[in-house]
Amino acid sequence: MSTTPLFAPATVLLVFASDAQPSGLRLALETVGMEVVETGDEQQAREVIHQAPPTAVLTDLALPGGDGLGVLSAAKAADGTLPVIVATEPGNVLDAVSAMKGGALDCVVKPLDVGQLVSLVERAVGAYREVAEVLPFTTAAGADVPGIVGRDPRLATVLRGLGRAAATDATVLLQGESGTGKELFARALHLLSPRADGPFVAINCAAIPENLLESELFGHEKGAFTGAVARKLGKFEVADGGTLFLDEIGDLPGALQAKILRAVELRSFERVGGTQSITVDVRQVAATNRELRARVAAGLFREDLFFRLSVFPIQIPPLRDRMTDVPLLARFFLVKVCADLGRPLVSLSLAAEDHLMSYAWPGNVRELQNCIERAVIMCEGAELRPADLSLDTGAVERPAADPWDAIDLSGSLADASRRALGEVERRKVVAALQDAGSHTGRAADALQISHRALVVKMQEHGIQT
């Protein structure tokens, strides 16, 4: 733990019943330069948050005469970006899920470890300040969209765009690699829009055989073709009053592109085998993982349809370009998977977190979700370890990005240097411990420092073996 605060002192609000607060926590936080406010009461915590908003909140979920979830919702109502860490009993999975859904940054499982808590709070304060400095966004701007986890500034920019687009009826084109969250964002867009009470109808243009796609989109009249035994409404009609999500639009066959263009432009069409023109009130959102512009250049996608769809283009960055979101997403999925499997909560060790950070995630968020699911099933203890993750970090090289881009250069020269050096030191220690199979003596030898110096460094960086 660094003994010099990087910024003006952060204030941490601790909400624990007097006998539940880990002993030494207050002192440990003060030692790293934080100011601490304590209360054991939900109502008092609400008042503190209202009157003198802290920089971070650490609350027990179980409070006498109250509830940590109440503290969380008060904090989120005051400032949607305020980091809140909740502490829970291993068996209390349902409340932990509610806390993560309610926007908690992290959920720690008892028994609590003071060193780990301090490093979590330090990270939370650092991330919060970064976000607050770079992006003075508010919840109203759509940054805290329910169900979408992530604090990376690039993602926040996307979410702000999503919030703005939601207020209009403009056609939105979501582009991003597979697994980046296009469908999730399309649903969020609908929920944020004035059409939220209307239907959200999705159609996957790549999954439906070409000869059935037209009838799926526009419906058909009875007898329109063999097998058309009754009139059927198409997705455009079913989505009337709501949002139509045209997924994998890049794979739309050429013949249908002209028909879709007309329907998108005029919001009217005919059912297959019908003559009557049907007009609908539908907001369209399209998505693709293909380079649509390149398909236009190659003559595979109509340029006029491309322009018509991309009135409001949104590019979702791949996960490797927003690696700071990896631990947040991993913890979110951990809690969710444990709840789905009905097993006690498993926490993420710092070594496992580093392991996740060293992988390029070609399958993006979906791959991370699957990895955590698999790891929880493999994991036998209360903590996920690197081995549980079965990640082939050697096989997939991270695409050559400029490593200097990842370094936070904000603040004074001294601040930036201290942060960068601190991170190099932490990574070096974690790597040495991993190589030494957590044997501190061997790790100290490899680092060419004394065993005592290693223990101090591990304490400073909140590293556990």
Which residue ranges make up the site for Mg ion (CB under 5 A)? 182-183
Cβ nearer to ligand ATP, comparing 83 with 176? 176
| Helix (H), strand (E) at residue 246 | strand 243-247
Q: How far is the CB of 315 from ligand ATP (least distance, A)?
A: 12
CB-based contact 173:286 (threshold 8 Å): yes
Residue with tokens 């977190």: 353
Tally of helices (H runs) and strands (E runs) in the chain: 18, 18
Cβ nearer to Mg ion, comparing 192 with 205? 205
Contact call for residue 383 and ligand ATP (CB under 6 A): no
Query: Which of the stretches 192-200, 298-306, 349-357, 364-372 binds ligand ATP when contact is defined by CB under 6 A?
Result: 364-372
Q: In degrees rounded to 5, what are phi and psi of residue 9?
A: -55, 135
Contact call for residue 183 and ligand ATP (CB under 6 A): yes
Q: Which of residues 134-163 bind ligand ATP (CB under 6 A)?
A: 148-150
Q: How far is the CB of 203 from Mg ion (least distance, A)?
A: 12
Q: How far is the CB of 271 from ligand ATP (least distance, A)?
A: 28
Report DSSP state, residue 21: S
Cβ nearer to ligand ATP, comparing 373 with 445? 373
Q: Which of residues 302-361 bind ligand ATP (CB under 6 A)?
A: 329
Report DSSP state, residue 65: T
Report DSSP state, residue 387: G
178, 277, 390, 450: residue in contact with ligand ATP (rule CB under 6 A): 178
Contact call for residue 408 and ligand ATP (CB under 6 A): no
How far apart are alpha carbons 456 and 355 in whole angstroms?
Answer: 23
Contact call for residue 243 and ligand ATP (CB under 6 A): no
At residue 246's C-alpha, the angle toward residues 240 and 248, to 5°, is 170
Contact call for residue 89 and ligand ATP (CB under 6 A): no
Using a CB cutoff of 8 Å and minimum separation of 24, what contacts does 417-420 make? 418/2, 418/4, 418/6, 419/6
Q: Which does 148 bind (CB under 5 to 8 A by kind): ligand ATP, Mg ion, none?
A: ligand ATP
Structure token pair of residue 152: 């990376």
At residue 172's C-alpha, the angle toward residues 323 and 255, to 5°, is 115
Contact call for residue 101 and ligand ATP (CB under 6 A): no
CB-based contact 208:262 (threshold 8 Å): no
Query: Which residue type, as a one-letter code, is found at position 112?
Result: L
Cβ nearer to ligand ATP, comparing 273 with 362? 362
Cβ nearer to ligand ATP, comparing 25 with 188? 188
Ranked by CB distance to Mg ion, the top (closest) residue is 183
Binding site for ligand ATP (CB under 6 A): 148-150, 176, 178-184, 289, 329, 365-366, 369
